[in-house]
Structure 1
Amino acid sequence: MPAPKKTLRRTLLVTSAALSSLALTAPAALAAPSPSTSPSPSTSPSATPPARMSTVGGNRLGQAGTQVDLGSGAPVLPKDLTARSWIVADAESGAVLASHNAHWRLPPASTMKMLFADTVLPRFPKTEKHKVVPADLAGIGAGSSLVGIKEGQTYTVRDLWLGVFLRSGNDAVHVLSAMNDGVDNTVKQMNEHAEELQALDTNVVSPDGYDAPGQVSSAYDLTLFARSGLQKKDFREYCSTVRTQFPGETKKNKKGKSVRESFEIQNTNRLLSGDSDIPVYQGIAGVKNGNTTNAGATFTGVAERNGKVLLVTVMNPSKNEHNEVYKETSKLFDWGFKAAGKAQPVGELVAPKGAQASAQPGATASSGQAGGAGDASPKSATKKAAAEEDSGGVGIALAITGGALVLLAAAAFLVNRRWPLPDLVRRRPRP
């Protein structure tokens, strides 16, 4: 039986304070999946899923078609779903409530930016500043979505991440990649991190998700990326921001004084910002959308209702209607909240390799990917956890970048699923 929330919080506080001085060692990553088996961006992927797909998370997830066990009292799935692939999962327990071609390897578009953020975000403090040089913006694909970064201007890391999440700015991705020793190094790290997360359907070619030969992922993998990223405080902040001011270009005013003005950017996630034909989804808290010629529309979202947190990923609806990917996502969220506790799981979202390995007798190391940028010292992590205990939030995010005892690493990952969702979720009225 799961421990009460307060007991979990107190347990995590004690664990955080007592164990934060131990170092973590990430396991070596295996080779990334071969791009030779992936579809080329010059043609659309096959309309038929392969007969054999990955069985990570359970055998049923490797089967083509819809997988669901309704159980007693569970509602039937929506009838008008047209996406090539989708998945509905409990974000905290990892139970997959239903899926459709969950492991079909498809072009991901900008949902790949979730893996980019989960990989690179911890490497730079949000207050760090960077002056953009021409080389930073080299190699951006034609027709890319841009936030409007200018050469010669200085931006904080926080500015850049807001550009990534709100405007899906490929220019912001390339600047951050340049800061991270280049695009090639960033792609290598992303593929390694995908392996660590057991996202074995994924092969990264371009960090921004731009159509490229061999660049693929799956609804299952995208959901793993979102789940891992959401355990980072900064990731949660950026993906839940509806609108913000972004630094513009420095210009001289009429008096000859150099002035740098800002302009508003709005999140292109329509379940978060709303649109003419779709309302803001109640309880939505992120995560990331994408759209390219080869990928079609893709989206992964997280939402909370009555204490239940669900993740939904939808890839490439065939119905050619405005905002169709969000409409189908909304229907799956609605179904998931009604079916939770009634539908029997058909699979699970697996834990990272490091968390699994640490649970084995004789294990000596665990991955340190749970923390986020800005979760700096063990002492500050303990103070932060204590503050969140006092505030009575939805849960406690594991904010330790120092380490933890190996034998408790798997349990820590389990507790860490109960992250505090952004305040905007709590401010909105319940349906």
Structure 2
Amino acid sequence: MVNTSQSRLIGIFALLMMAVISFRPAAAEAVSWPTANIDAKSWAMIDARSGQVIASHNADQELPPASLTKMMTLYLAFEDIKLGRLDIDARVSVSKKAWKIGGSTMFLEPRMKPTVKELLHGIATLSGNDACITLAEHVDGSEEAFADRMNAKAKELGLQHSHFANATGFPQDGHYSSALDMVKLGAALWRDHPEMYKLFGEKEYTFDGRSQPNRNRILWSYPEADGIKTGHTEEAGYCLVGSAEKGSTRFVTAVFGTNSDRARAQQTKTLLKFGFRNFVTLRPTEREIRRQVEIFEGTEASVWLKPAAPVWVTVPKGNESALSFRLRYDAPLKAPINKGQQLGSIDAVFGDKGNTEVLQSVAMVAARDVERASWVMRQWDGIRLWWRESEQEESEGGSAESGNQ
């Protein structure tokens, strides 16, 4: 017969078992990538630091870019100034073609001799068509020759869906770009010409006693905004490439084909808010990314690999732990190895085991030199490699070493 103490023990044990059985750990939330809903014909957003496209719709569609074209006009001017090929204080002649162009202008006349610096303000802030032609003619002799350089630079920057026929964005056959190309160009302007980039945040500019405002509404309505360029023609609709920065995150956005000036600004702000609300830009340290790999036929048995450049990765907020790094290289690695020599790449991998995505790949280089070993040690390493390969062939599923870590 069971006594009272035993009954209590049995009861406590039963309660514990029920608690254990009924306890179910909460399932981890599935890793997902947030999506945006933007009212535009084509749009895209890129993180300027990581280079990742965060969200997009019809981003490769080739469309008339209107005055967004002037971003490339300014890129070439900034580059020429940086390389010493263009004097920012030089005075420039205004042709009749520039004077008569029409559209948005800074009201240049043939009697005037504006400086290159004034033209830059006139393009970035006032969207002056006359300033674009004046600058193009000064730099390359003609707008047509300047357009050739625009296309060469577009190819160099990886803009695969852009072709420029003029420096202004006036409608012309064979003149087109895409939302994706424009955010890439915007990021390149900030990355390659950070000081000149500040022009895009200018809210108004006065030339020859006449003040005009920047048409980019987000400079007033979105505190973190600092650029970049508006565009509008009847064919293109209302377009805007915007940029803003919070903390370590800088987004560049592009909207093509909205139906009004107000709409392009509103859709740009919606896209920027979506980005900052849902994403964070991480900068892993070199210690987190570096990997040690085995070296054969060398005076050292291994060498550390490190990223060739600083690494930035953009991930959804709250899912930072879903980011990992995977090294890829062709094994076996043999000496001699030179410091700075690229020996592989590391993938930034996002997601869980069932669903992963490579966000970007970064070159990995040797942290130091590894000299070639003596003849005897090289022969010994040759035997080691032969033995290892034999074992792999005998092992079921033992494929040749890929160097993944």
Q: Bin the TM-score by the shorter chain.
A: 0.5 to 0.7
Q: CA deviation at 1:360?
A: 8.9
Q: 1:133·1:152 contact (CA, 8 Å) conserved in 2?
A: no
Alpha-carbon spacing, 1:321–1:244, altered in 2? closer, same or farther (3 Å):
closer
Amino acid at match of 1:241: E
Q: 250, 262, 270: which one pairs with 2:217?
A: 270
| Structure 2, unpaired ranges of 5+ | 1-28, 81-85, 281-314, 321-339, 344-363, 366-405
Structure 2 match to 1:166: 125
Q: 1:271·1:281 contact (CA, 8 Å) conserved in 2?
A: yes
Work out whether 1:330 is the aligned partner of 2:246: no
Alpha-carbon spacing, 1:76–1:197, altered in 2? closer, same or farther (3 Å):
closer
Tell me the distance in 2 between the aligned counterparts of 1:130 and 1:71: 60
Q: 1:74·1:339 contact (CA, 8 Å) conserved in 2?
A: no
Tell me the distance in 2 between the aligned counterparts of 1:72 and 1:338: 17
Tell me the distance in 2 between the aligned counterparts of 1:224 and 1:264: 31
Structure 1 match to 2:403: none
Describe the SS at the equivalent of 2:222: coil
Q: CA deviation at 1:121?
A: 2.9
Describe the SS at the equivalent of 2:218: helix
Work out whether 1:205 is the aligned partner of 2:165: yes
Structure 2 match to 1:127: 89
Amino acid at match of 2:166: S
Alpha-carbon spacing, 1:331–1:71, altered in 2? closer, same or farther (3 Å):
farther
Tell me the distance in 2 between the aligned counterparts of 1:88 and 1:188: 27
Describe the SS at the equivalent of 1:302: strand
Q: 105, 113, 129: which one pairs with 1:146?
A: 105
Describe the SS at the equivalent of 1:167: coil
Tell me the distance in 2 between the aligned counterparts of 1:82 and 1:360: 47
TM-score, normalised on structure 1? 0.55
After the TM superposition, which residues 62-77 of structure 1 pair with which residues of structure 2 at under 5 Å, given as runs? Answer: 72=31, 77=36
TM-score, normalised on structure 2? 0.59
Deviation track 1:283-321 (CA, whole Å, cap 9, x = no partner) reads 10111110001111111111011331111111112xx45
Tell me the distance in 2 between the aligned counterparts of 1:125 and 1:86: 36
Describe the SS at the equivalent of 2:147: helix
Amino acid at match of 1:132: V
Tell me the distance in 2 between the aligned counterparts of 1:333 and 1:301: 8
Tell me the distance in 1 between the aligned counterparts of 2:60 and 2:34: 24
Q: CA deviation at 1:97?
A: 1.2
Q: CA deviation at 1:71?
A: 6.7
Work out whether 1:236 is the aligned partner of 2:197: yes
Aligned pair count? 255
Describe the SS at the equivalent of 1:154: coil
Amino acid at match of 2:46: A
Q: CA deviation at 1:136?
A: 4.7
Q: 1:305·1:337 contact (CA, 8 Å) conserved in 2?
A: yes
Q: 83, 90, 109: which one pairs with 2:47?
A: 90
Structure 2 match to 1:384: none
Q: 2:98·2:129 contact (CA, 8 Å) conserved in 1?
A: no
Tell me the distance in 1 between the aligned counterparts of 2:97 and 2:254: 34
Q: 290, 293, 296: which one pairs with 2:231?
A: 290
Structure 2 match to 1:103: 60
Q: CA deviation at 1:265?
A: 2.2
Structure 1 match to 2:295: none
Alpha-carbon spacing, 1:336–1:178, altered in 2? closer, same or farther (3 Å):
same
Q: CA deviation at 1:132?
A: 2.4
Work out whether 1:214 is the aligned partner of 2:174: yes
Deviation track 1:4-39 (CA, whole Å, cap 9, x = no partner) reads xxxxxxxxxxxxxxxxxxxxxxxxxxxxxxxxxxxx
Runs of 4+ aligned structure 1 residues displaced above 3 Å come to 70-76, 135-138, 341-345, 359-362
Deviation track 1:140-192 (CA, whole Å, cap 9, x = no partner) reads 2xx52111111111111111111111111100001001102111110000000
Describe the SS at the equivalent of 1:290: strand
Amino acid at match of 1:159: E
| Structure 1, unpaired ranges of 5+ | 1-69, 249-261, 275-279, 346-358, 363-406, 409-431
Tell me the distance in 2 between the aligned counterparts of 1:205 and 1:168: 17
Alpha-carbon spacing, 1:215–1:321, altered in 2? closer, same or farther (3 Å):
closer
Q: 2:146·2:167 contact (CA, 8 Å) conserved in 1?
A: yes
Tell me the distance in 2 between the aligned counterparts of 1:299 and 1:71: 34
Amino acid at match of 1:113: K
State the identity as a percent: 27
Q: 229, 237, 242: which one pairs with 1:301?
A: 242
Q: Write 1 or 2 for the structure with the bigger share of strand.
A: 2
Which has more radius of gyration? 2
Structure 2 match to 1:8: none
Tell me the distance in 1 between the aligned counterparts of 2:171 and 2:97: 21
Q: 2:99·2:109 contact (CA, 8 Å) conserved in 1?
A: no
